[in-house]
Amino acid sequence: MDTNTQWISSSESTFVLFLGGQISLDKQKLCWALSRHLDTCADLPVSETVVGMNALTMYLDKDVLYQNPSNLAIYQKLLNEITHDFVGSSGSVDGIDGKHVDIPVIYGGEYGVDLADSAKMLGMSIDELVARHTAPLYTVYFIGFQAGFPYLGGLPDELHLPRHAKPRTKVPQGSVGIGGAQTGIYPFESPGGWQLLGRTNLPLFDKTHNSPTLLQAGDTLRFVATDILA
């Protein structure tokens, strides 16, 4: 995989790896695999790794670092060496064997208040926008922002939309929207600036379940239009 794998220090106890360029599933798979590898690495005092969008953050054990803070530079050098060896020996890396979920969505009307304007911005009809939004197989890259909020890979370039200059103070629970190069689903009512295309009644978070979030990293999903309202 041809990608820059240099870690940078982001605090007195964390390093961050950003895989630049165009977002891709291959880069996300590398982040997942590196996270698993580093979590079991005996040569580094790893406290936790957190996967982002084509990015990875590693938290070092602060108690170990406080004993000798100058070791941070040593750990950074070692981390880069371990990462380069891992990338060089792995070739193509495996993803996560996730499940598939279909997400039923009512598009437009009071459920997707930005659908018509979004279609105009993209130079499409409403039906064409819905068809293109429901066509791809999306992959959950990671969960963030809210409990259960899926950051998805797979949105076609022609559907990228600007975020609202002034975010809404309340976006309804279950709203499906596009913000920049991302599409996603709001698990809870919250502020937000994405273009809202529709809404699903499928709950993305249920604290009574053993696994409270419906979606996990590595899962795939498709949006299924159950209705399109004018």
Q: List, as one string, the DSSP characters of the chain.
A: -------EE-SSSEEEEE--SS--HHHHHHHHHHHHHHHT-TTS-EEEEEEETTEEEEEE-HHHHHH-TTHHHHHHHHHHHHHHHHHHHHSS-------EEEEEEEEETTT-TTHHHHHHHHT--HHHHHHHHHSS-EEEEEE-SSTTPEEEE---GGG-BPPPSS-EEEE-TTEEEEEBTEEEE-SS-EEE-SEEEEE--S-SB-TTSSS-BS--TT-EEEEEEEEEE-
Q: Are residues 21 and 64 in the same domain?
A: yes
Q: In this predicted structure, what is the pLDDT of residue 170?
A: 95
Query: Domain count of the chain?
Result: 2
Phi-psi region of 54 (alpha: psi -120 to 50; beta: other; left: phi over 0): left
Q: Are residues 75 and 107 in the same domain?
A: no
Task: Indicate whether 117 belongs to any domain.
Answer: yes
Q: In this predicted structure, what is the pLDDT of residue 5?
A: 72
Q: In this predicted structure, what is the pLDDT of residue 67?
A: 84
Q: In this predicted structure, what is the pLDDT of residue 14?
A: 92
Q: Are residues 155 and 68 in the same domain?
A: no
Q: Write the CATH number for 150.
A: 2.40.100.10
Q: Are residues 76 and 146 in the same domain?
A: no
Q: Are residues 121 and 43 in the same domain?
A: no
Q: Are residues 122 and 222 in the same domain?
A: yes
Amino acid at 67: Q
From 89, 122, 146, the end of a domain falls on: 89
> 139 is written with which tokens?
């992959």
Parent domain of 11: 5-89
Q: In this predicted structure, what is the pLDDT of residue 43?
A: 86
Q: Are residues 105 and 70 in the same domain?
A: no
β partners of residue 73: none
Task: Indicate whether 125 belongs to any domain.
Answer: yes
From 29, 55, 89, the end of a domain falls on: 89
Q: Are residues 133 and 181 in the same domain?
A: yes
Whole-model pTM: value is 0.85
Q: Are residues 112 and 187 in the same domain?
A: yes
Q: In this predicted structure, what is the pLDDT of residue 3?
A: 52
Task: Indicate whether 171 belongs to any domain.
Answer: yes
Task: Indicate whether 70 belongs to any domain.
Answer: yes
Q: Which residues of the chain have pLDDT under 50?
A: 1-2
From 89, 111, 145, the end of a domain falls on: 89
Phi-psi region of 129 (alpha: psi -120 to 50; beta: other; left: phi over 0): alpha
Taking the mean position of all CA atoms in its chain, how far away is CA 142? Answer: 4
Q: In this predicted structure, what is the pLDDT of residue 211?
A: 83
The HSE-up count of residue 95 (CA atoms within 13 Å, CB side) is 17
Q: Are residues 105 and 80 in the same domain?
A: no
Task: Indicate whether 94 belongs to any domain.
Answer: no
Q: Are residues 49 and 79 in the same domain?
A: yes
CA dist., res. 77 & res. 80, Å (int) = 5
The predicted-structure confidence for 110-140, as pLDDT tens digits, reads as follows: 999 999 999 999 999 999 999 999 999 999 9
The C-alpha angle 149, 152, 153, rounded to 5 degrees, equals: 165
Q: Are residues 65 and 162 in the same domain?
A: no
Cβ proximity of 187 and 204 under 8 Å: yes
